[in-house]
Amino acid sequence: MVITISFPRHGEMLPCVDIFVCTADPRSEPPSLVISTILSLMAYDYPAKKLSVYLSDDGCSIFTFYAMWETTSFAKHWIPFCKRYNIEPRSPAAYFSESDGPQEPCTPKDWSFIKDMYDEMTERIDSAIMSGKIPEEIKANHKGFCEWNLKINSKDHQSIVEILVDGKDQNAVDNEGNVLPTLVYMAREKRPQHNHNFKAGAMNALIRVSSVTSNSPIIMNVDCDMYSNNKDTIRDSLCFFLDEEMGHKIGFVQYPQNYNNITKNNIYGNSLQAVKKVEMGGLDSVGGPPYIGTGCFHRREILCGMIFTKDYKVDWDRGVKERIQENIVYNIEEKAKSLTTCTYEHGTQWGNEIGVKYGCPVEDVITGLAIHCRGWESVYYNPIRPAFLGVAPATLSQTLLQTKRWSEGNFTIFLSKYCPFLFGHGKIKLRHQMGYCIYALWAPNSLATLYYVTIPSLNLIKISSLFPEITSPWIAPFVFVFCVTNLYNLHEALSCGDTLKGWWNVQRMWMVKRITSYLFGVIDTLRKLLGLSHMTFAVSSKVSDEDVSKRYEQEIMELGSSTPEYVIIATIALLNLVCLVGGIFQIMTCSWNVFLNVFSPQLILCGVLVIINIPFYEAMFFRKDKGRMPFPVTLASTGFLVLAFLIEIIIPII
């Protein structure tokens, strides 16, 4: 897309922007992590009076609220510090972890002052969390603390909406007298008898709360661990919305999900470089990428169900006008609370035709699909300096939990009324439908993968050939597909910045995810369709203890827990090792040439699987650290291996 926008010409006509941040669990997502993200968003290089930041706290934690209250004081020093010295990144946690001291033009005095202030703030927050209570003298400083009592818990509490910084208040300025962005804390009402619809419900509550506070025409949302890494991201995004030729077609601008803690060789395959740099960008040619739930800018109207029309126009100044109409903070808070009750959405189209859609673990994808089906296009933007950086899972179990949620959610879409081929028929291009289905069919790929990592190896022991002989011309398609796909995959990975070892690690994780996360994704999806279980949402932990973090930095796989996924991994690894040894024994006892001619494809496949599983053999038999494979897992996998061979022996007899 050719950009024809000039920001100086637009000047004060720049639209207001509402920024949504969601957090759900103060243990998995510590308040100190959340406020660093909040501060990075408040410090954008954008007119502060046009910026409003909202935090949805689904954990309803008084400690998260306390951290937000501390943020209001620190922001008065942090924001002017960032703008005075053009600091990047503007997350204090990231900035201070990347530099041991001040860099030009920042003075040592200013750097030390801000660093000490930040350390003291985080120490106060961490001390309050460790002690389990907020000091009474602090509670007396803000009326919001009165909302919490002994009966409140994360699943049963009233609506809480507190405007911590009112951007319309003349006294809401930083230590240099400049206006501060509006900052709002929200914990929507939750009751055990009412379904709260997880993150989608939080997003819809934020849409309503912001409509009576700032009502900006542009909404941006990020996860609480995805801090802003580029001060110009808002301006960059608006280039698409304000483009004079194509801007009126753009419904949302999607940024990739990047991480700041990926190891050199991508031990858990979390960088997804090919997806970010090839697949998502390629979708721009057919209508745009899907909405992935974070790092995205939307028009407010499209989140409220607007259908695209060629004569569509927007009043970019609307947010400013409507903000001036109401200037009593208490009245705004009370009105906002009434919009976040458990029963507010009953009998309405919220979660269906209005807002983020309900009923799916990946609510973002079906919301984006619905937007595309209403005629809007989206844009994928992957700048050289990443717009957002987050925390990737640092253990194998966290990685598998995350990919299970993604694969299960996308497969649920494929089997629902929102299947791209059905819901998108006649509304979006066939190629766009197929682009969505790449991810929707992740989960069922597990069945084919499970077959190829078990049956060929087992038949090697049984001296039963599954492939054409190596001298047969019919082997050519198998060799062609195997060689070309892997060579292309290698080229793609290296061209996207992965190392050779990183590519190999991705191949290992490709197999591991499919025989565990994707397999359980299929099972859980079918159970839900049969009414045997209900939708849940597990929050991936953003914290790891010191030993786990050290092993992650050393690229040593973390396997120190007993889970069904690890039993499957260990069983497959042992099965292929035993079958490879058995196959080599068959070569030594039978005709060498005949065996290699008939069984070499299976032998090669089994050998590749053994090599790719080497880290799991080390974890089972050689490692002594706490991250090794637990003995009960090794024992269980051995039992399943014996059972598999017994079945192989019994079936031919029957």
Q: Would you please indicate which residues are annotated as catalytic (active-site) residues? A: 58, 364
- CA–CA dist 408, 91 (Å, integer): 33
Q: How far apart are CA 156 and CA 154, in angstroms?
A: 6
* Radius of gyration in angstroms for the set of CA atoms belonging to the chain, rounded to a whole number: 27
Q: What distance in Å separates the CA atoms of residue 114 and residue 107, rounded to the nearest whole number?
A: 11
Where are the alpha helices (H) located in 285-427, listed in sequence order? Answer: 300-303, 318-325, 329-338, 363-373, 396-414, 420-423
CA distance 131 to 427: 56
- Residue linked to tokens 């997880």: 198
**Integer angstrom CA distances of residue 413 from 307, 515, 533, 569:** 22, 21, 17, 27
DSSP 8-state class, residue 60: -
Task: Find the largest Cα–Cα distance for the chain.
Answer: 90
- C-alpha span between 377 and 308 (Å, rounded): 9
Residue carrying structure tokens 């637009």: 10
Cα–Cα dist 390/259, whole Å: 5
Amino acid letter, 311 = D
d(C-alpha 370, C-alpha 321), whole Å: 30
Task: Please give the C-alpha separations between residue 317 and each of 12, 16, 50, in angstroms, as whole numbers.
Answer: 9, 7, 10
Q: How far apart are CA 356 and CA 184, in angstroms?
A: 20
Q: Is 140 exposed, middle or buried (0-12, 13-18, 19+ CB in 10 A)?
A: exposed
At 175, list the tokens.
């230590």
